Amino acid sequence: MIRVLIVEDDVRIAEINRRLVEKVPDYSVVGIATDEVQAKEQLHILDPDLVLLDIFFPDMNGLELLRFMKQNYPYVDVIMITAAKDLKSIREAIQSGVFDFIIKPVIYDRMLETLEKYKHFHYEMEQLSSQMTAVSQQQVDALLRGRSEKMKEPYYPKGIDKLTLDKIMEHLQYAGHGISADKLGRMVGISRSTARRYLEYLVTQGSLRADVVYGTVGRPERVYHVM
């Protein structure tokens, strides 16, 4: 069983990620930490195999915790799950040896893909470690190839186009207080009904949540928030 620690300051998002991870066989979420103190305590006590780590916290920068982990817990693997999109953060995370870097809002299929790849990598490393202290070039190649193979294109239902979805997700990054289908449609250049179809799809994927807002006039409106 792969022991996972989630480090995320938003309890709601942490719980969504927990449910998502535990849908995958051989994974168990052993703890959720919402700040630096909890993260360091749980790293010491719970001995996780894998940490799902955000970057933005009120009391710390996740990259600082990443550096701490690499110095004190070098055998713990890390997958970044964050809204950070700047190249400096991405570069530092990659140079620090993260297994993957996933940008919020998280698409379930993308998360599932990296969890399956990590599971294969983790058990391959365990098997090799139990059998030998040195490996061949072919074995190294197989380990690295498993990590770097191109992600399989996720399946999208009828009416959902990847390019349009990517464009919508780009706009959603800046919808801090929520967004309606009408507003998104005007921003992206698509009809209100098309925008709503994509937004509802992202709700089913756990990337958005929908609230109903009652105005002073007219019908209630659905407003979507990034998880």
pLDDT by residue for the chain (227 residues), tens only, comes to 999 999 999 998 899 899 889 989 999 999 999 999 999 999 999 999 999 999 999 989 999 999 999 999 999 999 999 988 899 999 999 999 999 999 888 888 888 889 999 998 898 888 877 777 777 787 777 777 666 555 556 667 888 888 888 888 878 876 667 888 999 999 899 999 999 999 998 888 777 888 888 766 667 888 888 76
Distance (Å, rounded) from C-alpha 195 to C-alpha 4?
A: 35
φ/ψ bin of 206: left (φ > 0), alpha (ψ from -120 to 50), beta (otherwise): left
Domain identity same for 94 and 6:
yes
Domain of 196 in residue numbering reads as 162-226
Domain boundary (107, 124, 145) is at 107
In this prediction the pTM is 0.70
Contact 18, 52 (CB under 8 A): no
Domain of residue 197, CATH code:
1.10.10.10
Contact 52, 4 (CB under 8 A): yes
Contact 184, 168 (CB under 8 A): yes
Q: Where are the alpha helices (DSSP H) in the chain?
A: 11-21, 36-46, 62-72, 87-95, 108-131, 137-148, 162-172, 181-188, 192-204
Number of domains in the chain: 2
